[in-house]
Chains A and B, each alone.
Chain A
Amino acid sequence: MFTTPRLVLIALCAALNVAVGSIVYLLKLPIYLDSIGIILCALLLASDRWAGFVCASIAGTISCVIIFLLVNPFFIWFEMTVLAIALISVLLTARFTGLFQARPLPHGKFVTIVLLCGVVTGVVSAIVSAPVVAYLFGGVTGSGSAFVVAFFLKTGQKLLDAAVLSGLTADPIDKILQVLFAALLYRATPADFIAMLATPPTASAARAA
């Protein structure tokens, strides 16, 4: 499963997550953009779903550890969210790789699918993250979404409700952007690199050929 091109892909996707996620975190925007690499990894390995899930999860975990060590000490506790995003990306977003690569791009269908995948990923990640945000940090992490949680708390919501509502407000928008960026990067990735990521032929298959 872990061929050299796939190990390189994991490293590149982790680095992409760290680079974009750190900038957005430091700007305190109410979005994250720290999972583009996870979604992109799942898209690039769409031909082998299990490998896609494992590699996307590892890329997410590595970026989680690096962001935790260098920028955001809250980040390590969102590992379950990383796994949830990897799973949804493999099960849903990676089904549409044909559409994302189509030339010319069918704009209407592309927008609809990006919105659908983004909203589903956003809702799932909001639900998975909410207990961590609410019970571990009382609703406020270091990201800009803390302002949204604080707003809901001010309106009289309970802590978990405020964390869930904040997640449901910010996450779908954030994940729509992430799916869009991942789809565009996938579209721009050279075909020979995608071919290198395909499962290597087994010895018996090679002999038969």
Chain B
Amino acid sequence: MTPNGAAIFVAVMLAGALVASEPIGFSLLYAVIAAFALVEVGLRTFAALARSALVVLPLAVFMALVWVGFVGRSPAEIAAGVPGTRVASATYVVVVCLRLFLIVLATQLVTLRFERLTPLQFICALRIPTTAKRLLALTLSLSETLRHAVERARTALIAAGVITRRPSLRNIINGWMLVQTVWLSAITIAVGRMRDKWPIEGTLSRLDDLFQRAQPQSLGSGDAIWLLLGAGAAAFGIGIGIA
């Protein structure tokens, strides 16, 4: 599978999860994902399952609390104006969670499938305009910069006694200063790079050279198989919904 095929595969799964509305409608989508995991990812699937559960489980608990505990009726029952049951609302929560879990799992599996590639190699392999590649590379680089800016600003504000290390009222009152300090710090770093560092090191021209030399792979037969299977499963989900 190529990175381009993987990106389209995730989009197809996303669309499939969007249109499927019954648990049975999800069954084929889950079957395709299971096959994908088995063939393309192997044993690392367990890591993807664990990460997906970590994202979806808190949401499931939250939605169960709101729908089953508080509202006590499913959306369909509310729309029909009939007194509802907690079983129906619990079923509704399960459907939403199945939808979310499918999307998160597909994304995690694709991430693990290409974990050997660096983010820059993955970007190079995508068939998108050079400006978009440049933007993605800069975003990755600057998000790391911003992470360091957050650490530095936080340490400085703690040292100055403006915020505290542990949760406190002072953090709520002065938390805004952290955001402002991080923003200013990030802007200063970015301006310094654009004016001095990048022109001296030729960073952007080297990046552009790299993107121009990279040969994005065309979709292969492996991509076609997964895309057809995904599209078929999504169509099944639509059919079940209509029926």
Contact = CB atoms under 8 A, between A and B. Distances in A.
Interface of A: 2, 4-5, 7-8, 10-12, 14-16, 18-20, 28, 58, 62, 69, 71, 73-74, 76-77, 134, 136-140, 142, 146-147, 150, 153-154, 158-159, 181, 184-185, 188-190, 192-193, 196
Contacts of B112: none
A147 B179 contact: no
Interface of chain A: mostly helix, strand, loop or mixed: helix
Contacts, number: 117
Interface stretch (B26-34, B74-82, B120-128, B213-221): B74-82
Contact of A193 (B59, B134, B146, B191): B191
B1 interface: no
B104 A150 contact: no
Nearest to A135: B75
B74 A138 contact: yes
Interface of B: 14, 18, 55-56, 59, 62-63, 66-67, 70-71, 73-75, 78-79, 92, 96, 100, 103-104, 107, 131, 134-135, 138-139, 141-143, 146, 150, 176, 179-180, 182-184, 186-188, 190-191, 194, 198, 204
B183 A58 contact: no
Given A2-B131, A7-B138, A139 B75 contact: yes
Contacts of B55: 71, 73
Contact of B187 (A71, A158, A189): A189
B75 A190 contact: no
A111 B188 CA distance: 28
Nearest to B134: A7
Among B55, B135, B176, the one with the most A-chain Cβ atoms within 10 Å of its Cβ is B135
A158 B81 CA distance: 8
A2 to B, nearest CB: 5
Given A138-B92, A190-B187, A196 B194 contact: yes
